[in-house]
Amino acid sequence: MKLSSSSEIGRVTQKLRQDQTFRSELLGASLQFNTTWGLFSPRAIDDGTLMLLDHLQVSSDEVALDLGCGYGPLGLAIASSCPNGSVHMVDRDYIAIEYASKNAKLNNISNAQVYLSNGLSQVPANLPLTLVVSNLPAKVGNEMFYIMFDDAHQRMVPGATIVVVTINGLRQFIKRSFNEVFGNYKKLKQGKSYTISMATRNA
């Protein structure tokens, strides 16, 4: 895109500053999202998140954690499906937190808490998690993954599950690390680009 004048640049950038708005059907709920450029997948729910939701079972009283919530599709979909439960949505990007909070209000979802956290650093240590979900970003690094998985394991109650979606290139690492941290691993689905992986806290 080649712009010929400063006024034209101003008109284009003013339009780019406006929120992206769309609606999506997630876990049986029609949810509206406001997003902005700079957040992951701002114009539509990404394929990895949709794939994870297709293979997710949510109880009505779930105590869930959405790690790296972005503008909120995973966490808000889960919150809408567990009216007797609660969802903690965390991200280390304050813009993501701002939009996730806006989207919770936009969809009248009151059982979701949204706050800044680097991994689980700000998540209450005694939170009895029954479900942990994440669309894991490949660039975080294996060391951070180990920290997050260990922190999640400590907060998960027996029988709780962790379900993540990753690019296929991380599949073997997730399998190895889940087996090391949780003592088990299950591949729920492997597609062309993404893999859905699950582990359970047994004790």
**Annotated domain spans of the chain:** 22-200
Per-residue pLDDT of 30-47, as tens digits, reads 999 999 999 999 999 999
Q: Are 67 and 89 in contact (CB under 8 A)?
A: no
Per-residue pLDDT of 42-90, as tens digits, reads 999 999 999 999 999 999 999 999 999 999 999 999 999 999 999 999 9
The model carries a pTM of: 0.92
Pick the CATH number of 22-200 from 3.40.50.1110, 3.20.20.140, 3.40.50.150, 3.40.50.2300: 3.40.50.150
Give me 77's structure tokens. Answer: 């979909």
Q: What percent of the chain has pLDDT over 90?
A: 87
Nearest in space to 81 (alpha carbons), one of 100, 44, 53, 116: 53
Mean per-residue pLDDT of the chain: 94
Of 6-15, 111-120, 179-188, minimum mean pLDDT range: 6-15
Place of tokens 């808000």: 76
Is residue 25 predicted with pLDDT exceeding 60? Answer: yes
User: Mean pLDDT, to the nearest integer, of 152-163?
Assistant: 98
Question: Can you give the pLDDT at residue 2?
Answer: 53
User: Mean pLDDT, to the nearest integer, of 122-131?
Assistant: 96
Per-residue pLDDT of 158-178, as tens digits, reads 999 999 999 999 999 999 999
Nearest in space to 198 (alpha carbons), one of 183, 185, 182, 189: 185
Q: Where are the beta strands (DSSP E) in the chain?
A: 20-26, 29-35, 63-67, 86-91, 112-116, 129-135, 156-167, 186-190, 194-200
Give me 32's structure tokens. Answer: 């509206």
Question: Can you give the pLDDT at residue 4?
Answer: 56
